[in-house]
């Protein structure tokens, strides 16, 4: 198949101008898609990118993004060349591919493109386009013979000589005898000319996605407060999202590193984030691989809110420590089942980042006799994230997870359930000692009437822990309703007077 | 003979308030909200709630005297049937006893406890709002003793936007304050077994008297019923009932109803 090349460069790159003359001209307006193949045109990818670029490295962003159209992407000078002939069928034709590439608000930054049968031809047209006037945009692309010689990189060194010879276009150079050109200007110029006309194959170092995302960023100004680091980190996160999308990975662990100004005395400060080596480090972890920069940004904001910078910061670096392939997500066909809102692990991680891991707890049941040991409220950790990933929304798998081993011991459980419905719904985290009246009866907000009991709980502990002998009663208080109280039987037997404790509430 | 067919006895009674068309409202009837409701599990209570149950996607406020807790007995049947996603508890006053809740139908692994470490009021509000915004969450129970009306309004918006069951539990002193809740209930102790529910605000005519609900697990009710004579008899010495046991290892005695004082 005959190769077909696109040359792409960010719009502001040619305004800065590698050939100096471009800055004389006004910025090129957007062209309609209908004339996409009519000539070298520019596409304006929306106004949101018109201000400061949101990318830490715009060229890499454009290259990673364009890898979705073809695997053959190379960077030549300040532009990218894409060989698209192999992927035309996948996109439904050359026209459809170019349209997908130029779709408004799709590209990471506004860009300009040109095409041709060879990469050098496309690059030359791109360079010419920078010099074209607005009115000339709709013209058909320049034929190769008419292209000015300065657009050929290999001819740059010989431009004055060639000009004195009367050679200003590719066609005129090609018309010269090959032997003389090779002797006068060297073989590379002839080879480049052959490549430009498609007579010789072109080779480039094709871009490959790095295995690990590791991007530095120099901040525009020194940053004194940790929260302000977020503005720089946001650009790095946007870049990270492009990398993750291209790799189809989700991030699990991220490291944000910042370099403290070494001239300050307390650059070697030590705390949780600073090890005294002049750098600060922050690790972001997510329970589920994610590509969502908004979630990462919110997490980062919560973490950065707790950091105090000992010295100003000028350099940031974002690195992925752990990523994994992202599974596809199946969506429901029915609109009713789509629920608005963010996912559960986003919620849990945001809460844990802001208020600490102790602020998120899930319960685990154990087969135990002591009520306080029947359940454990555990902080968010490995098991809590397991709960999220296996999905509480699926009753079958959720039921299989409990310590009660539902189903396997259905009969045993039926009896357990019956007795467990006699347990109170609130349990006091610490049992509360109750005062007694003269008869040895407990008092709590007035005298307590013992309704039912005793329920004897006796544990001759052969493992660790004290011996437990309790008589539980359901008591009624006039002001507080039904209470669950117990009496230490050991104390009563020793004649020390019964000690009463409040352990739960029937809410 | 009239040409009109006689009304079939199977047709529902058109005068019953719950069966009115949704777009026709009789002034003496409860307004039928368009919103979805979830049955509270108690027929007497459902009859008095607009739509026949707890409103989904709206704020329901439960007021109780300080130290008194009756929330679980009122909410558990609805929470047990609310779905399979997490039931978020924001800053609960004590530890919920998951085995008891599971025995009454609320799976323990659905419980998610969120709380600020130092019990700040603003953190609890933030947590409630975040929980409401989460797609997987089915219901949110928030204990917000300090919340102001505008903060509650924000929660009400979040619940409506994301279509969640939201219950806010507040002290009974708050009943004089204005509230954006669509349903406000005051829970009062009746006696040990029954619960008196005053409906302070609902979409419909006001309810003058309190509702009396049993709302206890059947096993507990049986135990309480058998203990009733002793209870009314008043004081007794529990030491009489400490039976000698020959338990060797871990053992739980069967809960036996307390005998009348001999």
Give CA separation, A313 vs A227, A296, B202, in Å: 12, 21, 57
Confidence of residue A464 (pLDDT cuts 50, 70, 90): low
> Cβ–Cβ of A426/B94 closer than 8 Å?
yes
At residue A346, does pLDDT exceed 50? yes
Residue in chain B closest to A468 (alpha carbons) equals: B250
Domain limits, chain A: 5-196, 214-325, 360-420, 426-505
| Per-residue confidence (pLDDT) for residue B6, from 0 to 100 | 47
- Name the CATH superfamily for A214-325: DNA polymerase, Y-family, little finger domain (3.30.1490.100)
- Averaged pLDDT, A59-79: 88
Output phi, psi for A377, to 5 deg: -95, 105
Chain A: residue whose CA lies nearest to B253: A456
In angstroms, the CA A340 to CA B55 distance is 18
- Lowest mean pLDDT segment, chosen from A221-225, A431-435, A470-474, A493-497: A493-497
Residue pairs between chains A and B whose CB atoms are closer than 8 Å: 264
pLDDT of residue B153: 94
- What is residue B223's predicted lDDT score, i.e. its pLDDT? 78
Q: What is the Cα B90 distance to its own chain's centre?
A: 16
d(CA A379, CA A348): 11
Question: Which residues in chain A have Cβ-Cβ distances shorter than 8 Å to B219?
Answer: 418-419, 421-422
CB-CB contact of B193 with B224 (8 Å): yes
pLDDT score recorded for residue A337? 57
Looking at the DSSP bridge assignments, the partners of residue A285 are A253
pLDDT tens track for B75-107: 999 999 888 889 999 999 888 999 888 888 888
> Containing H/E element for A303?
helix A293-304
> Does residue B237 surpass a pLDDT of 60?
no
Across the interface, which of B219, B239, B249 has its CB nearest the CB of A421? B219
Q: Which of A378, A385, A317 is nearest to A349 (CA)?
A: A385
pLDDT tier, B140 (very low <50, low <70, confident <90, very high otherwise): very high
Q: What is the average pLDDT value for chain A, to the nearest integer?
A: 76
Q: Which site among B66, B72, B102, B113 would you substitute to test the A interface, given the most A Cβ atoms closer than 10 Å to its Cβ?
A: B102
The rounded distance, in Å, linking the Cα atoms of B168 and B151 is: 12
Let me know how long chain B is.
262
Residue A149: its pLDDT value, please? 85
Q: Which residue of B has its CA nearest to A483?
A: B192
**Taking CB atoms and an 8 Å limit, are A392 and B85 in contact across chains?**
yes
What pLDDT, on the 0 to 100 scale, is given for residue A401? 37
pLDDT of res. A133:
43
User: Which pLDDT value is given to residue A23?
Assistant: 33
φ/ψ of B206, rounded to 5, equals: -70, 155
Query: Mean pLDDT across the stretch A176-193?
Result: 89
DSSP B106-175: --GGGEEEE--TT--HHHHHHHHHHHHTBSS--EEEEE-TT--HHHHHHHHHHHHHHT-EEEEEEEGGGG
pLDDT per residue as tens digits for the range A86-96: 888 898 888 88
Average pLDDT across chain B, whole number: 76
Mutation site, B98, B117, B132, B221, interface A, largest A CB count within 10 A: B98
Q: Do B76 and A441 touch (CB under 8 A)?
A: no
Lowest-confidence pick of A27-36, A59-68, A166-175, A288-297? A27-36
Q: With CA atoms as reference, report the closest residue to A340 among B162, B127, B85, B138.
A: B162
Collapsed DSSP state (helix, strand, coil) of residue B199: strand
Confidence of residue B112 (pLDDT cuts 50, 70, 90): very high
How does residue A17 score in pLDDT terms, banded at 50, 70 and 90?
Answer: very low
Say what the pLDDT of residue B127 is. 93
If you compute the radius of gyration of chain A from its CA atoms, what whole number of angstroms results? 36
Tens digits of residue pLDDT in A367-411: 877 888 888 888 876 444 444 444 443 333 333 333 333 333 444
Residue B166 pLDDT: 94
For residue A459, the model assigns a pLDDT of 73
Say if the Cβ atoms of B110 and A398 lie within 8 Å.
yes
| CB-based contacts of A285, cutoff 8 Å, min separation 6 | A252, A253, A254, A349
Q: CA A503 → CA A165, A318, A425, A426, A499, distances in Å?
A: 103, 51, 11, 9, 13
Which among B109, B115, B247 is the nearest to A398, CB-wise?
Answer: B109
Integer-rounded Cα radius of gyration of chain B: 22
Taking every pair of Cα atoms in chain A, the longest distance, rounded to a whole number of angstroms, is 124
- Which residue did the predictor score with more confidence, A495 or A367? A367
**Does residue A315 sit at the B interface (CB-CB below 8 Å)?**
no
User: Residue A493, class by beta-carbon neighbours within 10 Å (0-12 exposed, 13-18 middle, 19+ buried)?
Assistant: exposed
Alpha carbon of A9 to those of A84, A197, A348: distances in Å? 16, 22, 42
| Contact residues, chain A, for B239 at CB < 8 Å | 440, 492, 498
The gap from C-alpha A126 to its chain's centroid, in whole angstroms, comes to 34
Which of B96, B123, B217 has its CB closest to that of A355?
B123
A56 pLDDT more than 90: no
d(CA B233, CA B235): 7
Distance from CA of A363 to the nearest CA of B (A): 6
When pLDDT is cut at 50, 70 and 90, the band that residue A137 belongs to is very low
Cα atoms in the 13 Å half-sphere on the side-chain side of B7: 5
| Percent residues over pLDDT 90 in chain B | 27
Mean pLDDT value of segment A350-357: 87
* pLDDT for residue A26: 32
Q: Is the pLDDT of residue A307 over 60?
A: yes
Phi-psi region of A352 (alpha: psi -120 to 50; beta: other; left: phi over 0): alpha
* Residue B248 confidence (pLDDT): 31
Q: Among A331-345, A440-454, A464-478, whose mean pLDDT is lowest?
A: A331-345
In chain B, the residue whose alpha carbon lies closest to the alpha carbon of A457 is: B252
- What percentage of chain B has pLDDT greater than the value 70? 71
Pick from A223, A215, A212, A219: which is nearest to A253 by CA?
A: A212
- What residue spans of chain B are helical by DSSP H? 43-48, 71-80, 98-103, 121-132, 149-162, 218-233
**Residue B154 in this model has a pLDDT that exceeds 90:** yes
Residue A82 pLDDT exceeds 50: yes
Of A475, A316, A387, A399, the C-alpha closest to B136 is: A387
Q: In terms of CA atoms, which chain A residue is nearest residue B85?
A: A393
At B244-256, the pLDDT tens digits run 333 333 333 334 4
- Cis? peptide before A454, omega within 30° of 0: yes
Integer Cα distance of B187 and A104 in angstroms? 59
**CB atoms A363 and B98 under 8 Å:** yes
Rounded Cα distance between A398 and A392, Å, is: 6
Compute the Cα dihedral for A321, A322, A325, A327 and give only its sign. negative
Give this prediction's pTM: 0.68
Residue in A closest to B258 by C-alpha: A452
According to the model, what pLDDT value does residue A406 have? Answer: 35
Return the higher-pLDDT residue of A115 and A453.
Answer: A115
Chain A residue numbers with beta carbons less than 8 Å from the beta carbon of B116 are 355, 359
Give per-residue pLDDT as tens, A36-51: 333 333 333 333 333 3
Q: Mind listing the domains of chain B with CATH numbers?
A: 40-218 (3.40.50.300)
Q: How many angstroms separate the CA of residue B174 from the nearest CA in chain A?
A: 19
Q: Is residue B257 predicted with pLDDT exceeding 50?
A: no
Mean pLDDT of B38-53: 87
- E strand segments, A304-422: 313-325, 360-365, 375-379
**Smallest CA–CA distance from B259 into chain A, residue:** A452
CB B259 within 8 A of CB B241: yes
Shortest distance between the Cα of B98 and any Cα of chain A, in A, equals: 7
B-proximal residues of A, 414-473, CB under 8 Å: 416-429, 439-441, 445, 447, 449-460, 462, 471-473
Work out the percent of chain A whose per-residue pLDDT is above 90.
7
Cβ contact B62:B49 at 8 Å: no
């Amino acid at each position: 198949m005959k190769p077909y090349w696109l040359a792409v460069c960010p719009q502001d790159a040619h305004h800065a101008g590698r050939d100096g003359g471009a800055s004389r001209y006004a910025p090129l307006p957007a062209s309609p898609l209908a004339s996409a193949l009519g000539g070298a045109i520019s596409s304006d990818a929306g106004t949101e990118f018109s201000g400061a670029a949101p990318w830490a490295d715009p060229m890499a962003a454009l290259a990673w993004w364009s890898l979705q159209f073809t695997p053959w992407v190379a960077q030549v000078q300040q532009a990218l060349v894409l060989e698209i002939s192999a992927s035309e069928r996948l996109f439904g034709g050359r026209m459809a591919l170019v349209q997908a590439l130029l779709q408004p608000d799709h590209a990471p930054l506004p860009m300009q493109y040109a095409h041709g049968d060879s990469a050098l031809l496309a690059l030359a047209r791109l360079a010419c386009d920078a010099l074209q006037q607005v009115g000339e945009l709709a013209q058909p692309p320049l034929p190769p013979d008419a292209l000015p010689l300065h657009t050929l990189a290999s001819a740059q060194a010989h431009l004055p000589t060639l000009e004195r010879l009367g050679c200003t276009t590719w066609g005129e150079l090609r018309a010269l005898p090959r032997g003389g050109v090779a002797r006068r200007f060297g073989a590379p110029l002839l080879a480049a000319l052959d490549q430009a006309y498609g007579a010789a194959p072109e080779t480039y170092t094709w871009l490959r996605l790095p295995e690990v995302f590791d991007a530095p960023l120099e901040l525009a100004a020194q940053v004194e407060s940790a929260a302000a680091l977020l503005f720089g980190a946001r650009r790095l996160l946007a870049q990270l999202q492009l990398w993750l999308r291209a790799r189809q990975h989700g991030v699990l662990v991220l490291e944000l590193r910042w370099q403290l100004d070494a001239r300050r005395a307390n650059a070697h400060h030590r705390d949780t984030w600073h090890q005294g080596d002049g750098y600060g480090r922050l690790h972001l972890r997510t329970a589920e691989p994610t590509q969502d920069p908004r979630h990462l940004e919110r997490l980062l904001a919560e973490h950065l809110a707790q950091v105090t910078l000992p010295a100003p910061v000028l350099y940031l670096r974002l690195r992925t420590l752990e990523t994994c392939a992202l599974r596809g997500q199946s969506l429901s066909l029915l609109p009713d089942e789509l629920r608005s809102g963010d996912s559960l692990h986003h919620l849990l991680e945001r809460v844990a980042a802001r208020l600490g891991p102790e602020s998120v707890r899930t319960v685990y049941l154990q087969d135990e006799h002591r009520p306080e040991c029947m359940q454990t409220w555990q902080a968010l950790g490995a098991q809590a994230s397991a709960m999220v990933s296996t999905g509480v929304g699926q009753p079958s798998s959720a039921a299989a997870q409990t310590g009660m081993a539902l189903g396997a011991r259905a009969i045993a459980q039926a009896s357990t359930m019956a007795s467990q419905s006699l347990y109170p719904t609130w349990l006091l985290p610490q049992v509360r000692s109750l005062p007694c009246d003269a008869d040895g009866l407990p008092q709590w907000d007035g005298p307590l009437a013992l309704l039912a009991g005793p329920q004897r709980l006796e544990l001759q502990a052969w493992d660790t822990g004290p011996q437990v002998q309790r008589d539980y009663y359901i008591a009624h208080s006039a002001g507080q309703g039904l209470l669950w109280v117990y009496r230490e039987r050991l104390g009563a037997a020793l004649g020390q007077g019964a000690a009463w404790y409040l352990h739960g509430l029937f809410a | 003979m009239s040409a009109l067919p006689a009304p079939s006895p199977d047709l529902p009674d058109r005068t019953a308030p719950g069966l009115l068309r949704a777009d026709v409202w009789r002034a003496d009837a409860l307004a039928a909200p368009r919103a979805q409701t979830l049955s509270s599990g108690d027929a007497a209570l459902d009859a008095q709630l607009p739509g026949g149950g707890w409103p989904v996607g709206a704020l329901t406020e439960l007021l109780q005297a300080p130290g008194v807790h009756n929330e679980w007995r009122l909410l558990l049947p609805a929470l047990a049937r609310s779905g399979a996603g997490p039931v978020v508890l924001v800053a609960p006053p004590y530890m919920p006893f998951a085995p008891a809740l599971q025995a009454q139908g609320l799976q323990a692994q659905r419980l998610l406890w969120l709380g600020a470490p130092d019990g700040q009021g603003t953190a609890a509000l933030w947590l409630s709002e975040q929980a409401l915004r989460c797609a997987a969450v089915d219901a949110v129970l928030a204990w917000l003793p300090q919340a102001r009306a505008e903060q509650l309004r924000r929660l009400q918006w979040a619940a409506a936007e994301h279509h969640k069951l939201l219950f806010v539990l507040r002290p009974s002193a708050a009943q004089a304050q204005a509230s954006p809740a669509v349903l406000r209930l005051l829970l009062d102790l009746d006696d040990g077994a029954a619960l008196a529910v005053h409906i302070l605000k609902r979409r419909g005519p006001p309810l003058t008297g309190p509702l009396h609900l049993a709302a206890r697990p059947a096993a507990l009710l049986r135990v309480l019923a058998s203990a009733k004579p002793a209870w009314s008899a008043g004081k007794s010495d529990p030491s009489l009932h400490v039976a000698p046991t020959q338990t060797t290892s871990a053992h739980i005695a069967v809960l036996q109803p307390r005998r009348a004082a001999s």
